[in-house]
A and B are shown apart, each in its own frame.
Chain A
Amino acid sequence: MLKKLIGSVVALIITALLGSIVAFALIHMLPGNPVSVILGPAATPSTRKALIAQLGLNKPLVEQYLTWLNNFLHGNMGIAYSDRQAVASLLKQNYSETLELTLASQVIALILAIALAVFAGLKENRLMDKVFTSLSFGFFSIPPFVVAPILVILFAVKAKILPATGYSSLANNPAQNIKDMILPVATLALTTFPPYYQILRAELVRTLKENFVELAVAKGLSPLKVVIRHALKPSSLGLLTTVGLQLGSLITGAFVIEYIFQLPGLGELTINSINAGDYLVIQAIVVIVITAVGAINFIIDLLYAVLDPRIRSSK
């Protein structure tokens, strides 16, 4: 176990390092530079040159990268070019919203998927199974940027019971925070639960035909108890894998949601930083996202062993 942990950490570090190099290279391949956004079109060549020198953008790319890496490893992520705030401070301001949005939406997506899959598994090929399956395909086909405005029109503009945009932090105003996050979380949950539901439903239907399930039924257990006690756990490996695979689309989905609902999260920060050519912010976010995805996948690996004793004993 310890060996696996160390191996995963080393792999994560290498991945993050390589990711930061690729991100750095890609960003600098794009035309333009942040000085243009800072100064606008009306500045003399000497002013531009002086600002480029002040920001260190005139140095060779390798030197710029190594300077960034050295600073990063010492906890200094630099100062954002666009608004001159410390990158670490910007990330600190913005990460909590993204964490809240992704965690809450995935908890709700999983609860929804599990509940519907259990029901569908029990009622295979009956009306409700078909209704849920159709609904899941429907939500799978509709992108978040279509679902979001519909929910906003219904609940914010027409009913005026939820806000269309805005964010109050959980620490400062919990009641308002919950109100602010209902629509964004609902949007992300509705558009990410379909693959969870589909995979789990298929696995449950298969597992419910196994001999040990028949034995449980023969013992007199109710169908619901059979599913929850005996069938759900072995059917969840595919669900776990899907959660891991969905991480990429979850993050991009969160970014889109943050833009639509004007939530001050990492997604919105990333979009604004790309527009402004704010290399340091983009670099930092790339490393953080790679690290987060790596860590989540490691946790998923561990959960496999929890769910399936055969994996535990083989180790």
Chain B
Amino acid sequence: MTKGITRREFIKSSVAGSLTIGAALSTTSCSVSGQPLATKSNTKQIKRGGTLIFATEAEETGLDPRFADYDTTGVLYERTFYDPLAILDANGIPQPYLAESITPSPDYDSWQIKVRPNVYFHDGSLLDAKVVQANFEHYQSALSAVPLTMTLIKSVDIVDDLTVKVNLSSPWVPFDYWLAGGIGAQFPYMLAPAMLKASSNYSSTHPIGTGPFIFQEWVPNSHLRAKANPNYWRKGLPYLDAIEYRPIPNENSRLQSLLAGNVDMIHTSSSTTIKALQASGLSFITDAGKIVGEPDMNFILLNHNSAKPFYNIYACQAIAYATNRDRYAKIIGNGIELPSDGPFVPNTPYYNGPTGYPNYDLTKAKQAVENYKATTGIDLTFTLGTTPDPQSSIVAQFLQNEWQQAGMKVNINASIQQDALISNAISGNFDAYIWRQFAALHPDINYIFWSSSTIYKGFYINMAQNRDPIIDNALNAARAEADPVKQAKYYQTVAERFAVDIPYAWLTRTIWAVAAASQVQNYDNPTTPNGLPAYGMISGIIWPTEIWLNNANRSVASF
């Protein structure tokens, strides 16, 4: 059990600090935080009906959380058809959601999860302990990335009709954060038994969950449609008749769709689009001043394999010293993105001031380049790779220009398709890649990317191949530490070690925005099942459950 300050008190004080900063950092032309919560007292204001059209930044590879590798859009889909076992409250602390209670054992080597009674899937089947157990088993045996996130789960036993006990191979204190189902945590979404049986080895395209909306139609890269669940276990919800997601990867097209009134909401992580939103007069919110866990970070992924230039620490230092992150944030980030010096951001428990990551210093960069040559006998030459989109090319050219001033020879390969980018990263066939990653509700969710235990022969989930026993020890200790202050200190150690090893050349933290047309109401005021405020938008992901439309002029019949 925890001693001293409780986790709730600790995180609450951090969140209070971040919200104060957030008031200053948030854009001035937006705000929906003043909108009333959809509580019983103001339900008369709510208008039911209508169809919301949400334009997403990408399409997903499937609608089954067991098999797909979900990013922001995927978690939106999950929250539409399924429910996670937990939800973060307004203070960023996991609370039961589909579960009625989530209770750890005193030493956190098992967790008891009791699901709510009388909750039904879209096909009418009942959610009970057997279904929860079956879900865990199917997730653990899926031919996908999900099992790797469940390696600590030894077994799942049935305690009674509604309760399971998850037995762990070692203490797992942040397990309830995983149960809140953010990016990287897909197993807490409960699937219907029929869905578990139907798809043997691969992705089902017909999701059956307990969620607020029921699947209607999916045309990949065109639209995903769902209608309201009339038997949703949260009585009175959802307010909408239907919801439609339209993947529009082109940032300009997505914004113009919103401005033209073709879609009701968009999300974006493009600083250019956020700048345009500032000038548009539309309602939007950003996560600039608030974050739980850690946000997506923009950085250069450096390959520390012994055959690569960045195995030599001087090469890593040269990159770090030669990159002017403030200038990057101003020019590439349009003054919207915030420079970063580690995986964590200020006003979260895991940030403890500057990490010691090298600040811009061209003289030191040149010295590091010379040191590299002195120790290896060759010039520091490498290839910076990225995908063939205009923005990535701009970033690559900016960085090439910065680094070449320090004497490095930088080639750009901006023609790497997404599948090749990931393949090369995990097989170690790269020097340096422009990268974005690490959004997570809790740092433990990034364990597999930071621990050297996921460096295999020929495959490297720790793509930087950074072997640091101090980081490994800190990560392992953090997941077993119940005292939130001590736990946070372990992650601070991780950040400080990253500043020494430099597997990632930090640039900025990604800022996400969600924008809405004027008729869209209550899109950032979710609540827990008990009616208390829940955490709003995280990394462009909202809860569709409690949104309503002032002008419900689109009916389901128009599909």
Q: Interface on A for B, CB 8 Å cutoff?
A: 30-45, 47-48, 50-51, 54, 82-85, 90, 93, 149, 152-153, 156-157, 160, 162-167, 172-173, 259-262, 264, 268-269, 272, 274-277
Would A157 and B256 count as touching, CB distance under 8 A?
Answer: yes
Would B448 and A37 count as touching, CB distance under 8 A?
Answer: no
Q: Which of B148, B247, B417, B424 has the most CB of A within 10 A?
A: B417
Would B62 and A84 count as touching, CB distance under 8 A?
Answer: yes
Q: How many angstroms between the C-alpha atoms of A153 and B276 in the bound complex? A: 14
Within 8 A of A (CB), among B156-215: 184, 201-203, 205
Would B419 and A276 count as touching, CB distance under 8 A?
Answer: yes
Q: How many angstroms between the C-alpha atoms of A115 and B209 in the bound complex? A: 58
Number of interface residues of B (CB under 8 A): 58
Which residue of chain A lies nearest to B458 when distances are taken between CB atoms in the complex?
A: A45
**A152-B59 contact in complex given A261-B253, A262-B246, C-beta closer than 8 Å:** no
**A167-B222 contact in complex given A40-B145, A272-B59, C-beta closer than 8 Å:** yes
Q: Which of A44, A164, A261 has the most CB of B within 10 A?
A: A164
Min CB distance B64 to A, Å, is 9
Min CB distance B556 to A, Å, is 13
> Which residues of chain B are near A45, meaning CB under 8 Å?
456, 458-459
B419-447 vs A: 1/0 string, CB under 8 Å? 11111111001000000000000000000
Min CB distance A309 to B, Å, is 48
Would A277 and B222 count as touching, CB distance under 8 A?
Answer: no
**A156-B256 contact in complex given A38-B69, A47-B144, A262-B250, C-beta closer than 8 Å:** yes
Report the 4 A-B pairs with minimum CB-CB distance, sorted nearest first.
A32-B420, A40-B69, A264-B222, A277-B419
Q: How many angstroms between the C-alpha atoms of A276 and B387 in the bound complex? A: 12
> Which residues of chain B are near A276, meaning CB under 8 Å?
61, 418-419
Q: How many angstroms between the C-alpha atoms of A164 and B259 in the bound complex? A: 9
**A277-B202 contact in complex given A41-B425, A43-B148, C-beta closer than 8 Å:** no
Q: How many angstroms between the C-alpha atoms of A173 and B203 in the bound complex? A: 31
**A42-B448 contact in complex given A32-B417, A84-B203, C-beta closer than 8 Å:** yes
Which residue of chain A lies nearest to B247 when distances are taken between CB atoms in the complex?
A: A262
Would A153 and B256 count as touching, CB distance under 8 A?
Answer: yes
Other-chain contact of B143, A50, A163, A274 (Cβ < 8 Å): A50
Q: How many angstroms between the C-alpha atoms of A294 and B222 in the bound complex? A: 29
Q: How many angstroms between the C-alpha atoms of A240 and B480 in the bound complex? A: 75
- Given contact pairs A31-B424, A83-B61, enumerate 17 new A-B contacts (beta carbons under 8 Å): A31-B416, A33-B423, A36-B426, A37-B419, A41-B422, A42-B448, A47-B143, A50-B143, A84-B62, A84-B205, A164-B256, A164-B257, A165-B248, A165-B262, A165-B263, A260-B250, A277-B419
Q: How many angstroms between the C-alpha atoms of A278 and B262 in the bound complex? A: 30
Between A and B, 22 residue pairs with Cβ closer than 8 Å are A32-B416, A33-B419, A33-B423, A38-B69, A39-B145, A40-B422, A42-B69, A42-B149, A42-B449, A44-B461, A45-B456, A54-B202, A85-B220, A153-B256, A156-B259, A163-B257, A164-B253, A164-B262, A165-B55, A166-B257, A262-B247, A272-B59
B118 at the A interface (CB under 8 A) = no
Would A160 and B261 count as touching, CB distance under 8 A?
Answer: yes
Would A277 and B253 count as touching, CB distance under 8 A?
Answer: no
Min CB distance B441 to A, Å, is 16
